[in-house]
Chain A
Amino acid sequence: MCTGLEIAAIASVLGSAAAAGGTYMSQQEASQNAQRAADARNRELQATLARTKKLGEESRNIYKQREQEIAPEAAQQSHEDATASRTATLEGAIPDSAPEAVPLSGSAPTVVKSEIAQKLLDATGEAKTQARALGKIGGYGDMWFNEGLSTNNADRRLSVPQNFIQNEMALLPFSQDFAEYGAYRPSSGVGEIMAGVGNVVASAGGAYGGKVTGKTPAAGAAPITQANRPLPGVYR
């Protein structure tokens, strides 16, 4: 037969064990919930990164293409093309000289006719030389104008995937929150119940044990003060 003291001790131990077990279960469930939430958030992050990675590669390719276009050799070629284009336009705009349009009398000496023709030819030659010089100057501006257009075009093309990436990243916190809500599992309640019941049993056991041993202060006893406080290890 168990004595009252033994019953009280067993109840206290079992209660404490149940309380500890219940607390442990609650903590385990909370920990599992936190792990599920972290996993869910990470899955969303990974999915978003996978989507934005493709967009990022697309952006990078656009930039790389532009970078190749502005490389020294390509830029030199661009400059030559621009200069050639403007020079051809300017030079081609000059009409051929027309000595026959000069009203000379039929008796005009051949030397006069040929001199006039030569002067007109020279004038056309000088004008074409000037046109080439002007085209050469214009080639610099044209080259950078064309480069500016290409950069602008690349910027325009880049704006689309960049916009998609920004929106994907802006949605990420919300989708992570949603995923976390979805991953949350409410507590089974077993741990909390065990902890609660265990605490009650342990408290009851302690109270019962005190009653059995009579160590509870008797009614009307003087309160314990510094003066009458028992020394450690001394029982009255």
Chain B
Amino acid sequence: MCMGGGDSAADKSAAQAKKASKEAKQTEKKRQKSVLEGQDRIEGAFAQYDDDYYGGFKQDYLDYYRPQIEREFTNTRGKLFTGLLERGMGESTVGAGKIADLQRRRDEEHTNAANQATDAANALRAKVENEKTNLYTLNLASADPQAINARAIGSATALAAPQAYSPIGQVFASALQPISYGVSAYNNRSPQPYQTPYRVASGSGSGKVVG
């Protein structure tokens, strides 16, 4: 009887152990499933940030800066033409060189803008990737797909928020320096040398010494 009671207690203990083990395994299995669901949701939320997205960002960056470059270039070119024509160099080799220099400066500005646009797109991509990594870490820690979904959408929206960019300013001012230096030099030219207020006879004539 006593032994029968012992067996029963042991069976009960074994059953409890089995149940606890099963629960622990089921909990872990459920957690893993939640993590995978959270991972899918993160990937879904960030799927929009593909090569097209970064290409679009780069184009937007250029669309902001290119018109500014062109406007500055056009203004500066007009001033350069005026300056050259005033100095009678409108159709000279020197004038053509100045115009070509200005265009080269314009082209370099476009190149720089494109370079910066690529760097900015890379920086944005790094930011997005960093946020995605943070979400993966959070997902593993929390294993709550609903919370991760909300957080992923929130992060994705924050990433898409606009940023402030500075206008380019006067990038071609230095191209006009030779012309402006010429104008300044003319304005600051030395005054006329001394001239007698008396009328001086001019022209040819003859003189005779009276002895």
Residue ranges of A at the interface with B (Cβ–Cβ < 8 Å): 86, 89-90, 92-95, 97, 101-105, 108-109, 112, 115-116, 119-120, 122-124, 126-128, 130-131, 134, 138, 142, 145, 149, 152-153, 155-156, 159-160, 163-164, 167-168, 171, 174-175, 177-179, 181-186, 188-189
Contact = CB atoms under 8 A, between A and B. Distances in A.
Interface residues of B, number: 56
Q: Chain B at the A interface: mostly helix, strand, loop or mixed? A: helix
A94 B99 CA distance: 16
Contacts of A164: 32, 35
Contact of A175 (B25, B62, B91, B111): B25
A163 B18 CA distance: 25
A156 B136 contact: yes
Contacts, number: 143
Given A95-B110, A138-B118, A160-B136, A119 B39 contact: no
Contact of B99 (A116, A156, A185): A116
A195 B144 CA distance: 59
Interface of B: 2-3, 6-7, 9-10, 13-18, 20-21, 24-25, 28, 31-32, 35-36, 39, 58, 62, 66, 77, 81, 90-91, 93, 96-97, 99-101, 103-104, 106-108, 110-111, 113-115, 117-118, 122, 125-126, 129, 132-133, 136-137, 140
A116 B24 contact: no
B129 A152 contact: yes
Contacts of B91: 104-105, 108-109, 112
Contact of B96 (A94, A112, A127, A184): A112
Given A142-B122, A178-B17, A189 B3 contact: yes
B54 to A, nearest CB: 11
Contact of A123 (B10, B101, B137, B140): B101
A40 B110 CA distance: 73
Contact of B107 (A103, A112, A124, A168): A124
Contacts of A92: 114
A128 B108 CA distance: 9
Contacts of B62: 93
B111 A134 contact: yes
Contacts of A130: 108, 111
Contact of A156 (B17, B117, B132): B132
A153 to B, nearest CB: 8
Contacts of B133: 152, 155-156
B53 to A, nearest CB: 14
A181 B14 contact: yes
A174 B17 CA distance: 10
B18 A93 contact: no
A94 B107 contact: yes
A93 B31 contact: no
A171 B122 contact: no
10 contacts: A116-B96, A119-B96, A123-B100, A128-B107, A131-B111, A159-B137, A163-B35, A178-B21, A181-B16, A181-B17
A24 to B, nearest CB: 19
Given A181-B17, A186-B6, 14 more contacts: A95-B110, A102-B81, A112-B96, A120-B103, A124-B107, A127-B111, A138-B115, A149-B125, A159-B136, A159-B137, A160-B140, A179-B17, A182-B15, A184-B10
- Most A CB atoms within 10 A — which of B15, B32, B104, B122? B104
A180 to B, nearest CB: 8
B18 to A, nearest CB: 5
Given A126-B104, A138-B115, A160 B7 contact: no
Nearest to B128: A149
Nearest to A104: B91
Given A119-B99, A122-B100, A184 B107 contact: no
B36 A178 contact: no
A186 B2 CA distance: 12
Contacts of B28: 167-168, 171
A156 B139 CA distance: 11
